[in-house]
C-alpha cells in the first residue's frame, strides 16, 4: 500500500520534499542571524563573526549599507523576520500540496473499500459481522489518515531537518555535536520499544471497536424484536460489557501513545542539559574557538533538532499503530469472490429451454447441505421448492442464481454449464424477491426502480402486476410516498408486493421468489398470491414455498429434505403417491 502510495503521488511528494528542504535551509539562515545580533548587542561590533554569519552580513551590506549600529540592528531584525516569513511560506506550500495527496488517497481508498463491499462473496458474512466491515471502511481508513499519512508527511520533513541542523551544528562545533549524536540512538531505542507495544494493542482496539459497532448495528436492525421481548436490559448489558472491554483497551492505547511525546521531549531536554554543561565548559575555558555568541546560536539551533528527533520517533510509533489498520484494510481488499468469471467466459445469449441441476452437491464448509440434486426448471414453468426448514431450499435458489458455485455436479443453462458464462450476464436472467424485503428510506418510485431507468408508465405497470398499484394510489403522495427506514411505514405484505414490482420491472426471464414466512393478513396474502399466479403465466418462476397452500398450481413441486430431493411432481401426482409431500400436506 505504501509503495503504491509513493508511486502514485511521486511528483507531488517530491514537491513536498523540496519545499521542506527550502523550509529547513531558511530556518538555518534565520538562526544564523542570532550571532550578529548578540554580538552587536553585547560587544557593539560586527567584527570577528563566524564565517557563515560574516558571509551573510557581507551579502546584506551590499544591499543595505550597515554604517551605524542601530541601523544594523534594525536590518538584522528585518532580515530575520523576512526569512521567517519565507520559511513559513515554504512550510504552508508543502502542506498545501500534501492536503491534496492525503484527501485524494483516502477518497480512492474509500471508493475501493465500498466497491469491495458491494462485491463481497455472500459467504463472507457467515463468519464476519457487518459492523466489522463498516469499521474497516470508516474507522480504519480514518486511522490510516491519522497515523500512516501523518507519519509519511513527517518522514518527508524531519530527516532533512535533522541532517541539515546537525550538519550546521557540526560546522559550528564538532566536539560538542559528537555528544549530541551519541545521545540519539538511546532515544530511538526507547521509542522503538514503545512503538512495538502500540501496534499490538491497537490491533485489539480495532477488533473490539468492530464488535461494538456490530452490536449497535444489530440492535438498530432488531429494535422491534427487542421491544417485543422487553430485551432492552439484556441488550444494554451486552453493550455495556463490550463497551467496557473497548474502553479498557482504548485507555491502554491512549496511555501508550501519549507516552511517546513526553518521553521524547524529556530525552531531548536531557540532551540539551548535557550540551549546556559541555558547551559552557568549552566557552569558559576559551581554549576552543567557541565564542559565547556562537554558543547561543548553537543552543538555539540545537533546541530545533529536538522536534525532528521526537517527530521521527513518534512517526515510527504512529506508523506501527496505523499498520494494524492497514493490515485490516489489506485483508479486506484481498477477499476473493469464490464466484468469478473464467478467462474465456461467454456472454449469455438468452434462455430458451431450461436450467438443469445435474447431480449437484454443495457445502458451506464441511458437511454437505445439498447432496446429488437433480432438478429441471423449464422455461415458462413454475417450480416450487418445499420441505422442512433447513432442508436446503434457499441454498438451492442461491446456487441457481450463482451466488455460490457448486461443490459437485453442474448447473446447465440450455445444456451449457453456467460456469462457462460471465457471472454478471448470467445473474441478469434472474429477478429476486427475497423473504426479508429490503426497502430503502426513499420514495416507492425509487424503491421500485432501484436506479434502473424507467418511465412512470412502466413503474405503474409493474405496480399493477404486483397488486400494489391501488394501495400506492391511495397514499397522499402516491409513488412519491417515502417508506421510512427499511420500509417501516409499510406492512409486510405491502413491502413484499413493492419488491415484486421491483422484480417485474427488471423484465428478467426468471423470477426467484422466497415466500415471506412471517404471517401476512389474509388480504395481503391473497394479493401477493394473485400477482404471483399472474406473473407465472409470463415468467419462469422458482418459488421457495413456506406455506403449502401457495404451491398447488405449480408445474413442478420439488420436495427437499436433508439436502436431497425426495420427490418431484405436480400437486395431484404427489398427493396420489402418498409420500413425503402428502405427509407434509396432511400435517400442516
Ligand atoms: P431452507 O431454506 O430450506 O430453510 P437453507 O438452505 O437456508 O434451508 O439451509 C440449509 C442448511 O445450510 C442449514 O443447515 C443451514 O444451517 C445451512 N446454512 C445456510 N446458510 C449458511 C451459511 N451462509 N453458512 C453456513 N451454513 C449455512
393 lines ligand 1 (CB under 6 A): yes
CB–CB of 20/156 below 8 Å? Answer: yes
Phi, psi torsion values for 181, nearest 5 degrees: -65, -35
Q: Residues in the chain with pLDDT < 50?
A: none
CA distance 100 to 109: 14
Q: For the segment 374-407, what is each residue's pLDDT rounded down to a tens digit?
A: 999 999 899 999 998 889 998 999 999 998 889 8
Dihedral, CA of residue 417, residue 420, residue 422 and residue 428, to nearest 10: -10
7 lines ligand 1 (CB under 6 A): no
Give first-to-last CA distance, the chain, whole Å. Answer: 58
Residues in Cβ contact with 588 at an 8 Å cutoff, skipping those fewer than 6 apart: 547, 548
201 lines ligand 1 (CB under 6 A): no
390 lines ligand 1 (CB under 6 A): yes
| Residue 235 C-alpha from the chain's centroid | 27
Q: What is the DSSP letter of 349?
A: -
CB–CB of 288/247 below 8 Å? Answer: no
Pocket test residue of 392, 434, 515, 516 for ligand 1, highest count of atoms within 8 A of CB: 392
Atom of ligand 1 minimally distant from the CA of 385 = 3
What is the pLDDT at residue 261? 73
Is residue 510 classed as helix, strand or coil in its secondary structure? strand
Question: Nearest C-alpha to atom 25 of ligand 1 is from which residue?
Answer: 364
Candidates 431, 397, 402; CA nearest to 500 is 431
Q: How far is CA 587 from CA 204, 580, 584, in A?
A: 52, 11, 5
Is residue 354 classed as helix, strand or coil in its secondary structure? strand
The maximal CA–CA distance of the chain, rounded, in angstroms, is: 122
289 lines ligand 1 (CB under 6 A): no
CA distance 183 to 194: 18
Dihedral, CA of residue 514, residue 515, residue 518 and residue 519, to nearest 10: 170
Pocket test residue of 121, 124, 125, 369 for ligand 1, highest count of atoms within 8 A of CB: 369
Question: Nearest C-alpha to atom 20 of ligand 1 is from which residue?
Answer: 395
Q: Which helix (H) or strand (E) holds 300?
A: helix 292-333
Dihedral, CA of residue 125, residue 131, residue 132 and residue 135, to nearest 10: 150
CB–CB of 327/203 below 8 Å? Answer: yes
CA distance 280 to 179: 14
CA distance 155 to 311: 8
Q: Which helix (H) or strand (E) holds 6?
A: helix 2-8
Question: Nearest C-alpha to atom 15 of ligand 1 is from which residue?
Answer: 390
CB–CB of 173/290 below 8 Å? Answer: yes
What is the pLDDT at residue 517? 58
Whether the pTM exceeds 0.75: the reply is: no
* Backbone φ/ψ region at 10: left (φ over 0), alpha (ψ -120 to 50), beta: alpha
What is the pLDDT at residue 182? 80
What is the pLDDT at residue 285? 84
Amino acid at each position: 500500500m505504501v509503495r503504491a502510495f509513493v508511486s502514485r503521488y511521486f511528483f507531488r511528494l517530491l514537491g513536498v520534499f523540496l519545499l521542506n528542504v527550502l523550509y529547513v535551509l531558511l530556518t538555518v539562515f534565520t538562526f544564523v542571524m542570532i550571532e550578529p545580533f548578540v554580538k552587536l548587542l553585547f560587544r557593539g561590533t560586527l567584527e570577528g563573526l563566524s564565517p557563515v554569519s560574516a558571509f551573510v552580513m557581507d551579502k546584506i551590506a551590499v544591499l543595505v549599507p550597515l554604517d551605524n549600529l542601530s541601523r544594523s540592528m534594525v536590518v538584522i531584525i528585518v532580515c530575520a523576520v523576512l526569512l521567517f516569513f519565507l520559511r513559513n511560506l515554504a512550510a504552508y506550500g508543502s502542506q498545501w500540496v500534501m492536503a491534496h495527496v492525503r484527501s485524494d488517497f483516502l477518497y480512492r481508498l474509500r471508493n475501493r473499500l465500498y466497491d469491495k463491499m458491494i462485491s463481497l462473496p455472500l459467504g463472507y458474512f457467515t463468519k464476519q459481522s457487518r459492523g466489522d466491515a463498516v469499521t474497516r471502511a470508516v474507522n480504519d481508513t480514518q486511522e490510516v489518515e491519522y497515523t500512516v499519512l501523518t507519519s509519511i508527511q513527517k518522514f518527508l520533513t524531519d530527516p532533512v531537518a535533522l541532517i541539515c541542523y546537525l550538519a550546521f551544528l557540526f560546522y559550528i562545533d564538532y566536539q560538542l555535536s559528537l555528544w549530541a549524536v551519541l545521545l540519539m540512538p538511546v532515544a530511538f531505542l526507547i521509542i522503538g520499544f514503545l512503538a512495538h507495544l502500540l501496534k499490538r494493542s491497537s490491533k485489539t482496539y480495532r477488533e473490539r471497536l468492530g464488535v461494538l459497532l456490530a452490536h449497535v448495528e444489530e440492535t438498530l436492525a432488531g429494535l422491534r424484536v427487542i421491544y417485543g421481548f422487553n430485551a432492552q436490559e439484556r441488550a444494554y448489558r451486552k453493550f455495556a460489557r463490550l463497551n467496557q472491554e473497548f474502553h479498557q483497551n482504548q485507555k491502554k492505547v491512549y496511555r501508550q501513545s501519549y507516552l511517546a511525546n513526553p518521553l521524547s521531549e524529556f530525552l531531548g531536554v536531557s540532551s540539551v542539559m548535557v550540551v549546556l554543561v559541555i558547551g559552557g565548559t568549552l566557552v569558559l575555558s576559551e581554549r576552543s574557538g567557541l565564542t559565547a555568541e556562537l554558543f547561543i546560536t548553537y543552543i538555539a539551533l540545537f533546541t530545533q533538532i529536538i522536534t525532528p528527533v521526537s517527530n521521527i520517533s513518534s512517526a515510527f510509533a504512529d506508523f506501527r499503530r496505523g499498520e494494524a489498520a492497514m493490515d485490516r484494510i489489506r485483508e479486506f481488499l484481498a477477499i476473493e469472490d469464490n464466484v468469478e468469471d473464467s478467462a474465456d467466459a461467454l456472454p449469455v445469449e438468452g434462455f430458451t429451454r431450461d436450467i438443469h441441476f445435474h447431480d449437484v452437491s454443495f457445502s458451506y464448509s464441511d458437511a454437505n447441505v445439498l447432496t446429488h440434486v437433480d432438478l429441471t426448471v423449464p422455461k415458462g414453468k413454475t417450480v416450487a421448492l418445499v420441505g422442512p426448514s433447513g432442508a436446503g431450499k434457499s441454498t438451492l435458489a442461491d446456487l441457481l442464481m450463482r451466488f455460490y458455485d457448486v461443490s459437485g455436479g453442474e448447473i446447465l443453462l440450455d445444456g451449457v454449464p453456467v460456469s462457462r458464462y460471465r457471472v454478471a450476464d448470467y445473474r441478469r436472467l434472474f429477478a429476486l424477491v427475497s423473504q426479508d424485503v429490503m426497502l430503502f428510506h426513499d420514495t416507492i418510485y425509487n424503491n421500485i426502480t432501484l436506479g434502473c431507468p424507467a418511465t412512470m408508465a412502466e413503474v405503474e405497470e409493474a405496480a399493477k402486476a404486483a397488486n400494489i398499484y391501488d394501495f400506492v394510489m391511495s397514499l397522499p403522495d402516491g409513488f412519491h410516498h417515502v417508506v421510512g427506514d427499511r420500509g417501516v411505514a409499510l406492512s409486510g405484505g405491502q413491502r413484499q408486493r413493492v419488491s415484486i414490482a421491483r422484480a417485474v420491472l427488471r423484465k428478467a426471464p426468471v423470477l426467484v421468489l422466497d415466500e415471506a414466512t412471517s404471517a401476512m393478513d389474509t388480504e395481503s396474502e391473497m394479493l401477493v398470491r394473485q400477482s404471483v399466479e399472474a406473473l407465472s403465466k409470463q415468467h419462469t418462476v422458482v418459488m421457495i414455498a413456506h406455506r403449502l397452500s401457495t404451491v398447488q398450481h405449480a408445474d413442478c413441486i420439488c420436495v427437499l429434505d436433508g439436502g436431497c430431493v425426495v420427490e418431484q411432481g405436480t400437486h395431484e401426482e404427489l398427493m396420489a403417491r402418498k409420500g413425503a409431500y402428502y405427509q407434509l400436506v396432511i400435517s400442516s
